[in-house]
């Protein structure tokens, strides 16, 4: 296993990003953290510096739909830490709405953030890694990238299918440059995003358990990882073959 010391995480102020930051800090890694909400981000950074005084934690405000700033912030992080060893493309949202319900604005924002914003992050990271001829890019997609799903998941699953395809193409392109790319597909992990659902989900794992599973999977640097592996690896096989009517149970 390659030790990736300097790790950049987007969307790090809450949810999966915050959980991964805490896990990597406990492993002694230096962190470059960015998010839109700097108050929560700075509070997290202060907690991590106090708990792990041997690591560096640097922060920046970043809205990933501001594409020019994505490139600027990534370069600032590299300059501040000396190099970037791993970039985790995590920032995203899940505010999609049913098709034709008059909420194109929500579906557009979901696609712009989860797909176009993620592509900007991949481009910025890949440019840095090409210069270094080394690096690991972990793209947080979703189990929902497997198929199209109805209702509030339609735009979300489309955005994740798109970024998973982009990550695969990037992996094929960048492997000759010493760069690894992992398509990470979480199942149901407790977060602010999932908390908005009123339905109890028996497949949901806690935020801490989910973050631990994510970091373990990312550290292994596979081409693709379903997280947690149980039950999402066998479910991925079943969902590929499932008739459309059964997909409604996931939404």
Phi, psi at residue 56, to the nearest 5°? -95, 135
Please report, for the chain, the start and end positions of each structural domain, with discontinuous segments joined by +. Answer: 6-250
pLDDT per residue over 74-92, tens digit each? 999 999 999 999 999 999 9
pLDDT per residue over 154-203, tens digit each? 999 999 999 999 999 999 999 999 999 999 999 999 876 555 554 667 78
- Catalytic residue (choose from 52, 156, 188, 226): 156
Measured distance CA(91)–CA(121) in Å, rounded? 9
Residue 108 C-alpha from the chain's centroid: 19
* Contact yes or no for 145/134 (Cβ under 8 A): no
pLDDT per residue over 92-123, tens digit each? 998 888 889 989 999 999 999 999 999 999 99
Measured distance CA(183)–CA(226) in Å, rounded? 9
Task: Identify the residue with better confidence: 208 or 1.
Answer: 208
Closest Cα partner for 32 from 87, 97, 110? Answer: 87
* 211: Cβ contacts below 8 Å, ≥ 6 apart: 16, 19, 20, 22, 23, 189
- 118: enclosing H helix or E strand: helix 118-132
Query: Tokens standing for 205?
Result: 């794992």
pLDDT of residue 71 exceeding 90: yes
Q: What integer pLDDT is reported at residue 208 of this predicted model?
A: 94
Q: What integer pLDDT is reported at residue 198 of this predicted model?
A: 47
Measured distance CA(208)–CA(204) in Å, rounded? 12
CATH number of 6-250: 3.40.50.720
Residue 52 annotated in active site: no
- 23: enclosing H helix or E strand: helix 15-26
* pTM score: 0.94
Query: In whole angstroms, how far apart are CA 4 and each of 7, 30, 69, 124?
Result: 7, 9, 24, 18
Which class for 55: exposed (0-12), middle (13-18), buried (19 or more C-beta within 10 A)?
A: middle
Measured distance CA(79)–CA(154) in Å, rounded? 39
Measured distance CA(79)–CA(200) in Å, rounded? 45
pLDDT per residue over 215-240, tens digit each? 999 999 999 999 999 989 999 988 88
Q: What integer pLDDT is reported at residue 78 of this predicted model?
A: 98
């Amino acid at each position: 296993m390659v030790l990736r010391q300097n790790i950049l995480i987007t969307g790090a102020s809450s949810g999966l990003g915050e959980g991964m930051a805490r896990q990597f800090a406990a492993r002694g890694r230096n962190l470059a953290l960015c998010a839109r909400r700097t108050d929560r981000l700075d509070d997290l950074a202060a907690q991590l510096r106090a708990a792990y005084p041997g690591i560096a934690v640097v922060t920046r405000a970043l809205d990933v739909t501001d594409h020019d700033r994505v490139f600027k912030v990534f370069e600032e992080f590299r300059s501040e830490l000396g190099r970037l060893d791993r970039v985790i493309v995590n920032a995203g949202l899940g505010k999609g709405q049913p098709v034709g319900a008059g909420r194109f604005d929500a579906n557009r924002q979901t696609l712009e953030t989860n797909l176009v914003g993620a592509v900007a992050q991949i481009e910025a990271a890949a440019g840095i890694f090409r210069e270094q001829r080394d690096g690991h890019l972990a793209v947080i997609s979703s189990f929902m990238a497997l198929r199209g799903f109805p209702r509030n998941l339609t735009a979300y699953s489309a955005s994740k299918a798109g970024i998973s395809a982009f990550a695969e193409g990037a992996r094929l392109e960048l492997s000759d440059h010493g760069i690894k790319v992992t398509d990470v597909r979480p199942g149901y992990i407790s977060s602010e995003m999932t908390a908005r659902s009123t339905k109890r989900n028996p497949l949901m794992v806690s935020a801490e358990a989910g973050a631990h599973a994510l970091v373990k999977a990312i550290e292994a640097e596979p081409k693709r990882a379903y997280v947690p592996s149980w039950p999402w690896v066998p479910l991925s096989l079943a969902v590929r073959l499932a008739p459309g009517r059964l997909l409604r149970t996931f939404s």
